[in-house]
Amino acid sequence: MFGETSTTEDVLSGIDLTGKRVLVTGVSAGLGVETARALSAHGAKVTGAARDLAKAERAMSAALGGAPMIDLFELDLASLASCRAAADKLLAAGEKFDIIIANAGVMATPPLKTADGFEMQFGTNHLGHFTFINRIEPLIADGGRLVMLASSGHRFSDVNLDDPNFETTEYEPFLAYGRSKTANILFAVEFDRRHRTRGVRAAAVHPGGIQTELSRHMTEEALNALVEQMNAARTEAGGQPFQFKTVPQGAATSVWAAVVADPDEVGGRYCENCHVTMRITDEPIDAISEGVRPYALDPDHAAALWAKSEEMVGETF
């Protein structure tokens, strides 16, 4: 029914989410704002997390057009203290969530460290969500869903459990991004395995190529060069030129996996363009075409990442 040009409104057409509670991280811009807006517009009670609350309030107010404001709370995924404090507040409130969409993230940053000394992209995209979501796991209602925003960028690189912080590996922005996005997929695989007995399913999704604040660390020249590289690969393979998705098209797979898709279909899987990706290949392909690398879905690999992540954050889940 749906594909790469489907929008959030296409996916949610005719669906009433009244009575459903949803948590979305990263609601200060881009996909997070549209995801929260679309779910709220269809009746869901949405709680949004953002590092900059003032920015999130402005963005959501503009998106909702005077409709009732969603609940907001502060969450800085680059700080384990912030992740734990935010989780503690939610646990104290005790309200259940039917859906959690881990949308927040960073991409292609310069060599930076989180507040806890982790490489910024792995620390923010993976370890921050790993800690926060595992802490609030008791708040996910039976039969609920977790959606992790991953990326076709996972094909840039597998996780490196021996050197997650680039202490011995030369840092390269997209290599680090690829590691963090592979980690997002592996986290969904292992979270799904651990919690499916009570009907909680987890999926990873690739939203597609969208022009949002996620690319703020890239120059216009670097972004154009990346698009040219992808188009060259597509032309050589006989494919169509790359086109950016709109934000509503980019957020469609998130809401599809969270609300529309059969839980048994998406649980522990990687989705894009509003369907589960069936093509699993090691062939060299461009960063936007469909497909998921086998290492990103390997259950043993997912369990090893979980153990390494617990060691890094100093907490067992």
- Per-residue model confidence as pLDDT tens digits over 108-160: 999 999 999 999 999 999 999 999 999 999 999 999 999 999 999 999 999 99
Q: 24 near 32, Cβ under 8 Å?
A: yes
In the chain, the domains with their CATH numbers are: 8-307 (3.40.50.720)
Of the residues 171, 177, 270, 295, which is catalytic?
Answer: 177
pLDDT at position 230, please? 63
Q: Whole-prediction pTM value?
A: 0.91
**Percent of the chain scored above 90 by pLDDT?**
81
Structure-block tokens of residue 1:
């029914």
Model confidence at 215: pLDDT above 60: no
Would you list the DSSP string of 131-179? HHHHHHGGGEEEEEEEEEE--GGGGG----TT-TT-SSSPP-HHHHHHH
Q: DSSP label at 71? A: E
Task: Please check whether residue 25 is in contact with residue 80, taking contact to mean a CB–CB distance below 8 angstroms.
Answer: no
Q: Measured in Å, how far apart are the chain's first and last C-alpha atoms?
A: 38
Percentage with pLDDT > 70 across the chain:
86
Which structure tokens are listed for 145? 């869903």
Three-state DSSP at 263 gives: helix
Give the CA dihedral 39, 41, 45, 51, nearest 10 degrees.
70
pLDDT, tens only, 262-289: 999 999 999 999 999 966 666 555 545 6
In DSSP terms, 49 is beta-bridged to 25, 73
Q: Are strands 270-272 and 275-276 parallel, antiparallel or unpaired?
A: antiparallel
pLDDT value for 143: 98
Collect all residues with Cβ–Cβ distance below 8 Å to 284 and sequence separation of at least 6. none
* 34-91: pLDDT as tens digits: 999 999 999 999 999 999 999 999 999 999 987 778 999 999 999 999 999 999 999 9
Whether 270 is a known active-site residue: answer no
Looking at the DSSP bridge assignments, the partners of residue 276 are 271
